[in-house]
Amino acid sequence: MRSCRSYAAACLPVRAGWLRAALLITILLLILPAQAGQLDRAALETYFPPPLVVGEKDDAVPVWPILKQQAGSYEVFAYAFESIDLAPIPGFGGTPPDLLVALAPDGTFRDVRVISQHEPVFLEGLGPEPLVAFVEQYAGLSARQPIRVGRPNARSAGASPQTTVDGISMATASTRVINQSILASALAVARQKLGFGAGAVGLKVEARTDLDQPLGLPELLARGWVRRLTVTNGDAAAAFKGTGVEDRADGPPDAVLTDLYVAYLNVPAIGRNLLGQLRFDALMRELGPGNHAVMVVSAGPEEAPENPIGERFVLGAVPDRLAVSQGGLIVNARDMAVERRDAGLPEGLPPGNWTILRIDQAAAFDPSAPWTLTETVVRERGQILSEKIARTFTVETTLPADLFTRIKPADGPSWIDPWIARAPELGLVGLMLAVLVPVLARQRGLVANRRRFADFRLVFLALTLGFVGWYAQAQLSIVTLVGLVRAATATHDLAFLLYDPPSLLLWAFTLAALVVWGRGTFCGWMCPFGALQECVALLARPLRIQPITVPAGLDRVLRQVKYGVLAGILVAAAAGSPLADTVSEIEPFKTAITLYFVRSWPFVAYAGSLLVLNLFVYKGFCRYLCPLGAALAVLGRVRVLDWIPRRAECGSPCQLCKVRCRYGAIAPSGRIDYPECFQCMDCVTIIQDPAQCVPQVIARKRTRRAAPQPVPVA
């Protein structure tokens, strides 16, 4: 353990550096502007060309109404907004993606477009095309439903197309951030404009099947389980008063114009009693789970033009004169085209026409809450240029809550999902760390056995490359530090870290190891690209490649390059410059690990050249260029232990460990240069092995020479 005085002296430069960095961040926080949307009316008109019209931007919330002319007037076609204005959730580049979202009045997505994004995997890796295709999946989905990112081709594998979008391989965390940006911004608009919010999302309401009982129509009406909407000539005349068409109906004021019976059929005590057992069972099979059926029976004059399900009613269509609404929003309801002949309806229902309207589960319809059926009566005024005048009549249905089971969505933030989905990966990564720590800590155990420890290290590095890197996609990167700087200077949000659980677990372990042991625990054991270099280096001997010894002076200069690269990246990130993303490409991690070398040839050639360099200069990239390694080396200076054992003879006269150290992390004096040490443990194996450690070998020989020799017997 170093002394308190020497430890404090070593920490002073670090503290001064942190104070300068904190001062720089404070200044930037004051001068950098907050991020906001970038589209004006002219730009929006390119996305919504005629016949659509871009309305006036809302004063309270940054939303543009998109209007469409309908029957001589303009109706809202969609509400358009940029996600960055309402849900600026930082991505892995530290900058929130900006998405143009068009939300229909019923809560469905008209369209989603990418305006800008700084996700590293979509900038130079996969390219923007997979992201464009990803957001196109949202068109037609409902903001009332919880939309989750599945695995690639999840829909074709059976996932619900109403609640699942196909993910992108190698971009799982980024797509989850983008999904959350779309949903969070859409719900913010829905609360302000559409009358529903996060509480309605994901709620599952099902009719109870254990409350069936025989009930006649009079009792169903008395309980309010079947509702009746009757419009008389007098009602219509009062509604159309002052329009000039109030006297168009024939007959006395109390004569019935339309007479409708309305019932929610999913409840067995209603559906079975109205349809009969066979037809109810057939309807439920055809309807499917999660969907709803509403029956409307007409008892009014069939030939009357105002009858909404009269002779001109089109089977299988969305009725233009009937509408179901809830919470002020129209719910999409379509005729199921159920066979009308031999319906077998029970006695008591009128003999008129009837329809069963299907409400899809994507509409987030809640039958246990009040809902309304609206009938529209239309009359025309004028003969040459006729004008249509419409009036609506409504009836509300409120069913008892005990007829249903309500399953609320699990509470918790959106980042909970990836932690649940990636629990197996987290478990295996955690197991690897649980094995590694005691192996490194017990230096007289496995580390002291040269052959067994070499086999262990090779297997462990293969797991780091194959599982941690290529499978779990948990390669730590300077990109995360860029995101942290941008979060400190602009977004003030670190939630993006939570969307990649394996990487966050590795970051937590790495930071803890920095304090105890220094940089080398991650760089030497848990870095997938570092593991790839060590595996490639095994080819040097069979290929008869002799390593190049870099002159000591040049080596010292080259080791400083990585610190310059690190400083350039972090300064560019703090200044909000996109140059930070460009310079970060000095890391080959995205090419070699994240994208499996499936990338444009300059990036593949660069990563390949670093692996070839590794055959001649062992882990040259890590020693001279890696900005992440530089950051860990700086942070690792706060470590509390000089934990690699040394002997008095190390450095003088013994130089064996220095000669064997392929990283050049041992000084001629025998001192360990911890910022450059990768903890391969070769020197620990040597010093713990009496057959290798030179001082121990010499001491053993001296002991044998000093021992008394037996006297030969005459």
Structure tokens at 417: 């999902």
**217 and 232, same domain (yes or no):** yes
Structure tokens at 571: 């300064």
Non-local CB neighbours of 156 within 8 Å, separated by 6+ positions: none
Q: How far apart are CA 435 and CA 589, in angstroms?
A: 25
Q: How far apart are CA 689 and CA 415, in angstroms?
A: 48
**589 and 605, same domain (yes or no):** yes
Q: Are 83 and 112 a contacting pair, CB within 8 Å? A: no
Q: Is residue 714 part of a domain?
A: no
3-state SS, residue 619: coil
Dump pLDDT digits (tens) for 487-507.
Answer: 787 666 677 788 788 999 999
Q: What average pLDDT does the chain have?
A: 82
**339 and 468, same domain (yes or no):** no
Q: Which of 117-126, 171-180, 483-492, 519-528 has the highest mean pLDDT?
A: 519-528
3-state SS, residue 393: strand
Dump pLDDT digits (tens) for 612-646.
Answer: 999 999 999 999 999 999 999 999 888 888 888 88
Please provide the distance, in angstroms rounded to a whole number, between the alpha carbons at the two ends of the chain. 58
- Res. 9: pLDDT tops 90: no
Q: Which of residues 603 and 194 earns the better pLDDT score?
A: 603
- Res. 199: pLDDT tops 70: no
3-state SS, residue 57: coil
**170 and 255, same domain (yes or no):** no
Q: Are 125 and 595 a contacting pair, CB within 8 Å? A: yes
Lowest mean pLDDT among 1-15, 214-228, 287-301, 550-564: 1-15
Q: Is residue 592 part of a domain?
A: yes
Radius of gyration of the chain (CA): 36
Query: Which residues does residue 404 pair with via DSSP β-bridges, in sequence order?
Result: 207
Other Cβ atoms less than 10 A from the Cβ of 673: the count is 14
Q: Is residue 345 part of a domain?
A: yes
Q: Are 236 and 227 a contacting pair, CB within 8 Å? A: no
3-state SS, residue 116: strand
Q: Is residue 278 part of a domain?
A: yes
What SS3 string covers 167-220?
Answer: CCCCCHHHHHHHHHHHHHHHHHHHHHHHCCCHHHCCCEEEECCCCCCCCCHHHH
Looking at the chain, the whole-number percentage of residues with pLDDT higher than 70 is 85
- Res. 390: pLDDT tops 90: no
Q: Is residue 415 part of a domain?
A: no
Q: How far apart are CA 665 and CA 678, in angstroms?
A: 8
Single-letter amino acid, residue 325: S
3-state SS, residue 475: coil
**152 and 229, same domain (yes or no):** no
Query: Which residues does residue 410 pair with via DSSP β-bridges, in sequence order?
Result: none
Structure tokens at 475: 């390669």
3-state SS, residue 80: strand
Ranges of beta strands (E only) in 278-335 are 292-298, 322-326, 329-331, 333-335
Determine phi and psi for 335, rounding to 5 degrees. -60, 135
Ranges of beta strands (E only) in 401-496 are 404-407
Q: Are 84 and 37 a contacting pair, CB within 8 Å? A: yes
Pick from 361, 379, 407: which residue ends a domain? Answer: 407
**18 and 43, same domain (yes or no):** no
Looking at the chain, the whole-number percentage of residues with pLDDT higher than 90 is 26
How would you class 115 by CB atoms within 10 Å of its CB: exposed for 0-12, middle for 13-18, buried for 19 or more?
middle
Pick from 199, 215, 236: which residue ends a domain? Answer: 199
- Res. 653: pLDDT tops 80: yes
Q: How far apart are CA 492 and CA 487, in angstroms?
A: 5
Dump pLDDT digits (tens) for 209-267.
Answer: 887 888 888 899 999 999 999 988 888 888 888 777 767 666 788 888 888 999 999 99
pLDDT score, position 22: 41
**272 and 320, same domain (yes or no):** yes
Q: How far apart are CA 134 and CA 152, in angstroms?
A: 10
Pick from 199, 215, 243: which residue ends a domain? Answer: 199
Structure tokens at 603: 């990036």
Q: Is residue 237 part of a domain?
A: yes
Q: Are 93 and 120 a contacting pair, CB within 8 Å? A: yes
**482 and 622, same domain (yes or no):** yes
Q: Which of 653, 586, 637 is nearest to 15 (CA)?
A: 637
pLDDT grade for 414, boundaries at 50, 70 and 90: low
pLDDT score, position 456: 94
Q: DSSP letters along 535-595, please?
A: HHHTTTTTTTPPPP---HHHHHHHHTHHHHHHHHHHHHHHTT-THHHHHGGGS-HIIIIIS
Q: Which of 229, 224, 218 is nearest to 257 (CA)?
A: 229
- Res. 20: pLDDT tops 50: no
> Which DSSP state fits 666?
B
Q: Are 109 and 140 a contacting pair, CB within 8 Å? A: yes
Dump pLDDT digits (tens) for 272-295.
Answer: 888 888 888 888 888 888 889 999
**515 and 607, same domain (yes or no):** yes
Rounded (5°) CA angle 334-336-339: 150
Q: How far apart are CA 496 and CA 93, in angstroms?
A: 9
Q: Is residue 412 part of a domain?
A: no
Q: Is residue 712 part of a domain?
A: no
Q: Does the bond joining 51 to the residue before it have cis omega, within 30 degrees of 0?
A: yes
Query: How many helices and strands (H and E) does the chain possess?
Result: 27, 18
**378 and 508, same domain (yes or no):** no
**253 and 209, same domain (yes or no):** yes
**227 and 182, same domain (yes or no):** no
> CA 13, 14, 17, 21: dihedral to nearest 10 degrees?
-170
- Res. 208: pLDDT tops 50: yes
Dump pLDDT digits (tens) for 149-165.
Answer: 888 888 887 777 888 88
Parent domain of 153: 35-199
pLDDT grade for 136, boundaries at 50, 70 and 90: very high
Non-local CB neighbours of 434 within 8 Å, separated by 6+ positions: none
Q: Per the structure, how many domains does the chain have?
A: 4
Q: Are 116 and 38 a contacting pair, CB within 8 Å? A: yes
Chain centre distance of CA 410: 17
Q: How far apart are CA 438 and CA 587, in angstroms?
A: 31
